Chains A and B, each alone.
Chain A
Amino acid sequence: DTAVSQTPKYLVTQMGNDKSIKCEQNLGHDTMYWYKQDSKKFLKIMFSYNNKELIINETVPNRFSPKSPDKAHLNLHINSLELGDSAVYFCASSQDLGMGNTIYFGEGSWLTVV
């Protein structure tokens, strides 16, 4: 059973479109994240949620809107897609916000904007 699952795995879309990526974790964790990995493999945190509450919003353009309907789900909606949004987006979760928690990553969603 996949611990952190996200869909779609691959997404190719045109500039200006709106798209969503869905994420679910079945680990019973309280905290979920969205990370963006660029072509140089740099992992940058975008958002974190704890029990459906937004905790971290790392100066991400407001075209990106996360939504957490419950603590097992954290979806990412992106409006007016731009070329620079092309990247791999990883959903992740951890037990809670405490230091020392392991981050469990999903398999990633490869977004290509053309």
Chain B
Amino acid sequence: GQQVMQIPQYQHVQEGEDFTTYCNSSTTLSNIQWYKQRPGGHPVFLIQLVKSGEVKKQKRLTFQFGEAKKNSSLHITATQTTDVGTYFCAGNNDYKLSFGAGTTVTVRA
């Protein structure tokens, strides 16, 4: 069945630095979504990517969908304390959304 792998599982970042989290699927995806879950909170939708090679930006967050539609990445520049949380990718195929294991981000001030 479809599997979505996400790395790294944990990311400790110095405030002001950049980091990237990666998402890889064993199958070609129709689209990919990204969610953010703050500590003690619930996952909240960030963005959806549909087209091969698509790149979307939300302020300091850059989301990319691979050419083969089997991988995606989230790059955050100039990390702030408000970026703390767990970032999940979720791949869509055959009307089933599969979540990655998440990347939990902590920030050192």
- A102 at the B interface (CB under 8 A): yes
Q: Determine which of B44, B102, B104 lies in contact with A43 in the assembled complex, contact meaning CB atoms within 8 Å.
A: B102
A42 vs B99: C-alpha distance when bound (angstroms): 8
Give the tally of cross-chain contacts (CB within 8 A).
49
A109 vs B80: C-alpha distance when bound (angstroms): 29
Which residues in chain B, 73-98, are within 8 Å of chain A measured between CB atoms?
86, 88, 90, 92-93, 95-97
Residues on A with C-beta less than 8 A from B99 are: 42-45
Q: Determine which of B92, B93, B104 lies in contact with A41 in the assembled complex, contact meaning CB atoms within 8 Å.
A: B104
Q: Which secondary structure dominates where chain B touches chain A?
A: strand
Cβ contacts A72-114/B at 8 Å (1 or 0 each): 0000000000000000001000000111101111111000000
Residues on A with C-beta less than 8 A from B90 are: 103
* Contact flag A40-B101 (CB < 8 Å), given A100-B30, A100-B31, A105-B44: yes
Q: Are B43 and A100 in contact (CB under 8 A)?
A: no
Q: Determine which of A45, A90, A99, A108 lies in contact with B92 in the assembled complex, contact meaning CB atoms within 8 Å.
A: A99
Residues on A with C-beta less than 8 A from B92 are: 99-100
**A-side interface residues toward B, CB under 8 Å?**
40-45, 56, 90, 97-100, 102-108
